[in-house]
Structure 1
Amino acid sequence: MKLISPASWPDYELIDTGNFEKLERFGAFVLARPEPQAIWDKSLTDSDWQGMAHATFRRDRNSPERGDWQTKPDMRDPWFVKFRQEGLNLTFKLALTTFKHVGIFPEQADNWVYLHKAISQLNTPRPKVLNLFAYTGGASLAARQAGADVTHVDAVKPVISWARENMDHSELDNIRWVVEDAVKFVRREVRRGNRYNGIILDPPAYGRGPDGEKWVLEEQLNDLLKSCADLLDRTDFFFIINLYSLGFSALILENIMGQTFSNVANAEWGELFLADSYQKRLPLGVFYRFASVPL
């Protein structure tokens, strides 16, 4: 089992964590947001946090998920950050949302580098890559920049519009955008006999499709993975799955993946984390990834 954290990223820094919050710098701006797994004490004082943060998220008392941002006058929204590593040259638009998210999950940067390397080493000249629950497209952009033919699937139309902006700002093109429930899309692709060289899967714990389809991770993940196994190319492939749910350990994911895929090769699995400036390591989900070539 591995513990993986992205390499140094000039436009991102996890400054401090604790008391169920995290203090992060995205480009020029510092944000304070809730973080349910940061159960330890902060290293900095509350006044330090207040002085540093350009925007602080406060939950709505009547909602466990929604809230609003308290911002200082010099906070710009939206704004942009860049990611430059291992041949990748990406630009992301960030914005303050009512769900505390800003448009990227920084812990995923190591997966962007991984899939970029995997695509570069596949034997297929223009490999087909499927990104499910694809959000604002970090993995889609990385795959497209590596030369893949990318299909980006997400159930939320405004999120796909956001991903298209990221594609434009990153000076990329020709990503296929699909606004649909991921389970329905995958089942249809299986019936059509389609195959993909790479599949990226980043499902939420709970969600709704565009027509109200219900997604519950614990109930539906196993069947979705079986369908993904039918879609994955048999000889030239990679697969990445991330889970951020307190009920899922890396061992559970390792069991499911080993049972579902017959062609697992060069597998890596474990936890993703970010370390703050005081070397406290914040767990941010579990992952499993494999490829037909060693990376």
Structure 2
Amino acid sequence: MQFYAICPKGVESLLATELESFGATNLKEHPTHVTFEGDLKLAYTSCLNSRLANRIYLCLLDDTFDTLDEFYRKVNSLEWSWHFDFKQTFAVSCVARKNKHIRHSGFGGQKVKDAIVDYYMERYEQRPSIDKDNPDYRVHAVVNGNQIKIGIDLCGHGLNQRGYREEGGRAPIKENLAAALLMRADWPRLAAEGYDFHDPMCGSGTLLIEAAMMAADVAPGLLNHDYAFHQWKQHDEELWQEVLTTAKDKAEQGKQTLSNHFYGSDSFRKSLPLAKDNAEKSGLLEFIQIDEQDIRHPKQAPVSDKGLLLSNPPYAERLGEEEQVTQLYRDFGDYMKARCQNWQAGFITTDEQFAKAVGIRSHKQYKFKNGALDCKLYLFEVAPENYYKPFDPTRWNPDWDKNLPEGAVMLKNRLKKNTQRLKSYLKQNEVTCYRLYDADLPEYAAVIDVYEDEAHIQEYLPPKDIPEKVSRKRLQDIVRVTAGLLEIPEVNVHLKQRQRQKGKQQYTKQSSDEDFKVVQENGFKFQVNLKQYLDTGLFLDHRKTRKQIHGEANGAKFLNLFAYTGSVSVYAAMGGASTTTVDMSKTYVNWARKNFSLNSISPYGHSFVQSDCMQWLEENQDQSQYDLIFLDPPTFSNSKRMDTTFDVQRDQEKLITMTMSLLKQGGKLYFSNNFKKFALEKSLTEAFDIHEITGKTLPPDFKNSRNHHRCWLIQHK
């Protein structure tokens, strides 16, 4: 009899070895599955005892085809009635790759289903029913090029579903992948030699339970052995009971002789009851100790003299988490060095930088897929001769440019070129906050802004066809090169992702850190936040605009609409104007007040208004007029504080007309926005004297930027 077993990518060779230990012959490894031969007893043994397979199929067809008709005929010609009859339900799944006739897995599954239904209609004039959720039989098809493999699922459920875990907790690892990690870590041999086992970030306890089951020789299918082959016409119940009894006897004997200790801990308190519940359902709780513990502040004494530590630490799932997670891995390394001296150890992670942060040299690495994520298992011995000092992001790395990939070298050269181009301007104007780079190279699509001794990087959302791993690596290159070239530690480089903001995302915090920094511009002080929001609090492209308004402000009444953090108001006030600062956000109005305080500006003669600017304009049409106005609206806004949405293209005529009604004859309105496709309404140019002055308001560091404002000077005719 021919069979094939499917498994996670990277587990194929381990699965082949496991099946061979059960007595399988003629084994062949393929991507994500292994074919093998054996008798019915082997099939039952594999279903019950395989720790690595997802499912095991009886192979009914292993052949080639050249046309769609041939594909149909070969499936239709199988004697399906030998396996199930038309009164039973079935479902079909298909995986199709590299075939010109079957380009979609769903289409391949439909053709298989049609061939099976037609088989019964031709012979019995009856058709079996389809049940996608709970069928009696699952038929599986693999189309790879012109090869076709058809099998009947003997399991009925995923073999990774052992039966002890109903909930997985945070970021659970599948049971068969956990078993694969244990086998790569040589746990069966270590367990036999009396080693203990420890997972200090155990989550729902999967690695702990799999390790205990393996050491006690408990078959993984003993808790969940309601297999699909019970419905199969060729099923031999007596043979199955024999296999089942043998497994139960081994498990009972294994538990009686088990002397290894299994220790689990986690800092996430909600995981602990879940882990204990899972261990109890597995029947192995008496051998497993689970406690609350943070590896940064360990409570437990060193576990024992020899053991295996294996864990699945957190990954950086969201942008900006890299530094936080990297620090966790540093703490993880310190924990192992202090608590698990001379132990064998391993962990699985998505990024090499996390592995390096542990500070222990790995002697073996294995690639795996954890769901959709590409991961590596790092194995090492916790011994002083393997320790090294990991990269410290809190210090500038003088070796930052060693072994840079080719793309990163190009980025380095571009940043150097930009630095040289701006050097004279920055020095002459004492500019310490400026734009260094704006997606000059397509592969490195990001904006780099310098704020004195720190940098702020905004990554543009990469195209969908760029693999996440590639975009993440490029992002790491940008951080490394920026920090290296500016001679600052990497912790001073703050990373955010710029994409089209929708709905409530528009003002969403990118970080929870309340971390403000004071910077200087033209001798004035401003508070910026490089961590919390996508925009930092100081629009660098308006540096010249602010200076222009400062020079015209003496004795003027100044109005700042959509004022953001009030930086333009500070310039106007310092130039001698009385100011009115209007913004809808309470946060930004308070921020503006702080900027005034930083510059020791007396609050007298200056007002701060929290209001929807459009509504404020409507309510103040009959109020006093202003000599100088700065109007810098967003492209779009749908804040919950507004009754309607705001669109700068749609609403410009109303907005500018109402604003101009507050401008004195001979006064100046500086109107700016960032909408690239903005087109000024003809009615406005007919009503007012308007000149675009963008070129005069853009500083040199924004001349080639794709993200800068456009600006118009508007006056009464």
* Cα distance between partner residues in 1 of 2:501 and 2:629: 34
Among residues 243, 254, 257, which one is paired with 2:673 in the alignment?
243
Secondary structure of 2:661's match?
A: helix
In the alignment, which residue of structure 1 is the partner of 2:611?
Answer: 180
Judged with a 3 Å threshold, the aligned counterparts in structure 2 of structure 1 residues 230 and 177 are, in CA distance, closer, same or farther, namely same
Which residues of 2 match residues 71-86 of structure 1 at below 5 A? 77-84=515-522
Deviates more, 1:130-139 or 1:200-209: 200-209
Aligned equivalent of 2:686: 259
**Distance between the aligned counterparts of 2:692 and 2:501, measured in 1?**
37
2:510 aligns with one of 43, 49, 68: 68
Q: After the TM superposition, which residues 25-64 of structure 1 pair with which residues of structure 2 at under 5 Å, given as runs?
A: 25-34=450-459, 46=478, 47-49=480-482, 51=484, 54-59=492-497
CA distance in 1, matches of 2:673, 2:663: 19
| Structure showing greater relative contact order (alpha-carbon pairs closer than 8 Å, 6 or more residues apart) | 1
Aligned pairs, number: 260
Distance in 1 of aligned mates of 2:706 and 2:699: 5
Higher relative helix content: 2
Residue deviations 1:197-237 (CA, integer Å, cap 9, x gap): 111100001224573332222221210111112111013x1
Q: Is the 8 A contact 2:483 2:493 kept in 1?
A: no
1:95-146 deviation line (CA, Å, top 9, x unaligned): 13544111100111111111122223xxxxx321111000011110111111
Match of 2:694 among 263, 266, 270: 270
TM-score, normalised with respect to structure 1 = 0.75
Partner of 2:548: 114
> Residue 141 of structure 1: SS of its match in structure 2?
helix
Aligned to 1:200: 630
Report the CA distance between 1:13 and its aligned residue.
Answer: 2.9
CA contact (8 A) 1:254 1:288 kept: no
Aligned pairs for 1:88-103 (under 5 A) are: 89-103=523-537
Aligned to 1:123: none
The equivalent position to 1:152 in structure 2, one of 568, 572, 581, is: 581
Q: Aligned pair 1:217/2:655, yes or no?
A: no
CA 128–70 in structure 1, closer or farther in 2 if over 3 Å, else same: closer
Question: Does the 8 A contact of 2:558 with 2:579 survive in 1?
Answer: yes
1:189 matches 2:620: yes
Offset, 1:247? 2.4
Q: Over aligned residue pairs, what C-alpha RMSD do you find?
A: 3.4
Matched, 1:17 2:450: no
1:149, distance to aligned residue in structure 2 (A): 1.3
| Higher Cα radius of gyration | 2
Q: Structure 1 stretch 54-63 or stretch 195-204: which is displaced more?
A: 54-63
- Give yes or no for contact 2:583–2:609 (8 Å, CA) kept in 1: yes
- Indicate the structure with greater strand content: 1
Whole-angstrom CA distance in 2 between matches of 1:180 and 1:284? 26
Aligned counterpart, 1:230: 661
Gaps of 5+ in 2: 1-424, 462-473
Aligned residues of 1:20 and 1:34 also touching (Cα < 8 A): yes
Q: Could you tell me which of 285, 291, 294 is aligned with 2:709?
A: 285
1:169 — aligned with what? Answer: 598
Secondary structure at the aligned position of 2:693 is classed as strand
Aligned to 1:100, the other structure's residue is in SS state coil
Query: Aligned in 2, Cα 1:157/1:20: closer, same or farther, shift over 3 Å?
Result: same
* Contact in 1 for aligned 2:558/2:580 (Cα 8 Å): yes
Q: Distance in 2 between matches of 1:13 and 1:92?
A: 14
Cα deviation, 1:65-124, whole Å, max 9, x if unaligned, reads 5563699xxxx931111112xxxx31001113544111100111111111122223xxxx
Deviations 1:121-177 (A, max 9, x none): xxxxx3211110000111101111111111000000011111111000011123200
Partner Cα separation in structure 2 for residue 270 and residue 62 of structure 1 = 24
